[in-house]
Amino acid sequence: MPKDKLDDFLSSSLKAAEIKVDTPINELEQMIAEKIIVNRRQKRQKQRRVIEIAAAVILLLAVSGAVFFPGPAYALKKQLFQTIINIGESLNISLSSDDDQLRLQNRIAQEVAAIQEDVPFELLVPRYIPPGFDFESVKQSPTDEQACIIMSFSAPDANILFVQTGITDKFSSSVNVDAQQARARKVSIDKYEGNLITFEDGSASLLWITDDHIMCQLFGDINPEQALEMAESI
């Protein structure tokens, strides 16, 4: 295809797909963030409509109960009103939890972006953080020969570390544990095979290697179920 026709073809294709190749990265990030906010706002509106309908149905039942069953009407009304309150509180907790998770993920993304240029591989970020834990820091270890990134999460008297280390394609690892202190088993993490170690105190350590030659380790004050969920959210 001649060069001028190729240029026309690419130009018309990009216009048809409404792709703006000159859009700065920060604007794209802002567009994505705004889309997320709009989706969350729509989700909240749907949830509020559900609670309004539920409240109307419950109130209707309360009135009907007072007409057909005047004896226990007071107790029925009290129970139904408490149900409305409980549903509302659950909705508020859910919405608040979503906002907290969004803020947490934004903090992690900002700190990861700050060091990504100095790391020879793309950093992995878990989307699930166990309840009660907050993001603390992400740092590159200055002592390791290979690039080693340590992401830490903390809670009162508890810590979780997510370590990512660049390795060669000839790297191999084996897991040996004392059967009296811990037990190890093979697990599936998406398309990868991992080694999950569960210790006597209930804590766990999870290790797997990605196709991009990144050795990932999750360990600390985390149970096996949380470790697997955290790994699968990456």
Query: Is 213 in the same domain as 136?
Result: yes
- pTM, entire model: 0.58
In a domain, 88, yes or no: yes
Q: What are phi and psi of 7, to 5 degrees?
A: -60, -45
User: What are the percentages of helix, strand and coil residues in the chain, rounded to 5?
Assistant: 45, 25, 30
State the pLDDT at residue 99.
Answer: 74
Residue stretches of the chain with pLDDT short of 70: 1-98, 171-177
Query: Is 129 in the same domain as 227?
Result: yes
In a domain, 37, yes or no: yes
In a domain, 19, yes or no: no
Question: Into how many domains does the chain fold?
Answer: 2
Residue 213 carries which DSSP code?
A: S
CA-to-CA distance for 89 and 93, rounded, in angstroms? 6
Buried b (16+ CB within 10 A) or exposed e, 73-93: beebbeebeeebeeeeeebee
CATH number of the domain encompassing residue 161 = 3.30.200.100
Q: Which domain holds residue 57?
A: 25-107
User: What digits encode the pLDDT tens for the residues 64-100?
Assistant: 555 555 555 555 555 655 655 555 555 444 444 667 7
Query: Is 75 in the same domain as 123?
Result: no
Q: Is 152 exposed, middle or buried (0-12, 13-18, 19+ CB in 10 A)?
A: middle
In a domain, 203, yes or no: yes
